[in-house]
Structure 1
Amino acid sequence: MATGFSFGASGYPITWKHLAKEEKQQMITERNEGTLQKCEQLADMFSADYLLPFAKFFELVQPAHKSYRELMEKNRPADVTEHLTEHDVTVLDLLPGESWSGNDGSIDRRVNREQFFDNDFREQYLLDTYESQPPVVTESFDMTHEELADYFESLGGSDLAARIGDFALTLSLTGEQTLTALLRVQEGEIEYKPTEKQIPLGELDASHNVSMSCPGALVQFVVRNDRSWDDIHIGYWCEFDRQPDEYSLEFWRLLHAPWEARNDAMRIAKDYDIETELEGTTMADLVERNDVGDILSTYGLHCAGCPEGLGEDIIEAARIHGLDPQQARRLISEIEASVTGKQSVSD
């Protein structure tokens, strides 16, 4: 069997300022230990002969994220081996690029594999990688308050916005310019107000108050391309704070797929009238057999491992996630181009 061996790529708790450094380190330690216990439970539950730790080999490549990397103590595959020493299971302690033969049990190892766990080597490797890649966002940050107000206020008046309750977001966007604003959600309506500076959380009086500081160019890309905010919320681009220390599920759901609110997808079922060769192919099959995860995620569909994918095709998944017909056609065209090499979506 194969299973994750360390925590995922979420920016929580590292990018949340309401937690002290010691609290973050303790949470990470407990999460790592919990993941090792999960490996143990799964190995016992399924009486596994072999266990492959996989899918957690990631690093933050941006130089600006070095302070985050220093906090990201992660499990290694060797930690799984050590944790399961007393169990009747063989741990396949493999790094990317290594292989195991099921015929004779031999493992083809990387030369000097331990260097990948050396901090100096890792930092130089990440710097070289960063310098060899194009920028994530190339456009300068020239967004206006009017553009942001139109975007956020268009999400109000929906069932999804009404579920948020009494909420305030104090926002700071930085780059070629700095924009600060207050986003207020009350009774399903959203009001955007420019401010002279980012308002401290202590001066807000909503039931849920959150501060968010982000690179403006990244937010601009999300807004102008009508993309999911997941990379901002889950990733390590921004810093957050909250008061009280409670997770506002409905607000983050709003940003996960903002078009749901704009089209009030919680009330209105869309009739897409789309023809595609992918109709009837379950999302589980589509994701398992094709490299389409990145395309899906840009539209807010994180389908890998989702149990609902066993009973939905691409049209149903797009509808359930609130994509309007134009977005659905664009998504399906991109998927078809990746899977079949042709764009065949028709109205």
Structure 2
Amino acid sequence: MATSSHVSTLSDAPDAPGSPGPRREDELPRIVPRRRLGRRLAACAALLAFAMVLVSVVRNKAFQWGVVGQYFTTATVLDGLLLTVWLTAVVMVLGFLLGTVLAVMRLSDNPVLRTLSRGYVWIFRSTPLLVQLLFWFNIGALYPTLGLGIPYGPEFFTVKTVNLLGPTLTAVIGLTLHETAYAAEVVRGGILSVDPGQVEAAQALGLSRGRTLRRIVVPQAMTSIVPTAGNMLIGTLKGTSIVSVLAVHDLLYSTQLIYNQTYQVIPLLMVATLWYIAVTTLLSTGQYYIERHYARGASRTPPPAPWRRRLSRPGRRIQRIHERA
């Protein structure tokens, strides 16, 4: 009895000065964020290095930022940018259309189709892109004329290859055939990532093979296809600069025309660089939201949107917990 009275006396004793006071049973415990000293030091070092690089770039007069601003929105540069974006879009659309056909051929039960698809991918992935472009640019040396008619019979009409294949069309053909080989492997990998049980279930329901591919396999395969396809899109955008060797007036060639006249090489290259960065940023943002769209319903949780990521910081999470309590 004495012990119990002593305990009750201690519990009923007044709080000492400066003490937080007794905690209520329904009150949540205080959550203290973990102190990450190493992470903060690393962040400070990285920000310091970034600031030093940024200051050196801004204060370096050799970049001639005034000249960069002068030529950034000129008609020649914008026309080259428009051609670069158009070339990228056409090559990616045609490349993935043909690549899907090759992927289906590769997965076919027909050994001839499988062999032809494998051979196409092998040849075009084994040859450098620049060699392919130069080959198609000089195709007139192998086939001076192209005609349409009956095989080993009369021809209805013929056209000279030099007049038919200009620099821009040659760039479209060369880039498309090159991207088709890579797109075929991307699509094939995405199709193979789908659980075979999905196809078996579709066959049990009596769906045709084509409908199963369109309605069941491809939508699920997009989860694996979209990230790689986004990387291919950005790579194609930057890879179009190689068509400048064919005198195609893309973004890089347009800036080259200007600095060949003004001899301001560095600022004009910076103009091209900034435009490439701007377009790549837009494409990366679009890729992010497309990935989130196709990740809905998947087993893994899609990454949070940027505005949701800002709301999920530790301090705000703790604040929301206390508000709910």
TM-score, length of structure 2 as denominator length: 0.22
Answer 1 or 2: which has greater strand percent.
Answer: 1
In our comparison, the structure showing a higher alpha carbon Rg is 2
Answer 1 or 2: which has greater helix percent.
Answer: 2
Structure with more contact order per residue of length (Cα contacts < 8 Å, sep ≥ 6) = 2
TM-score, length of structure 1 as denominator length: 0.21
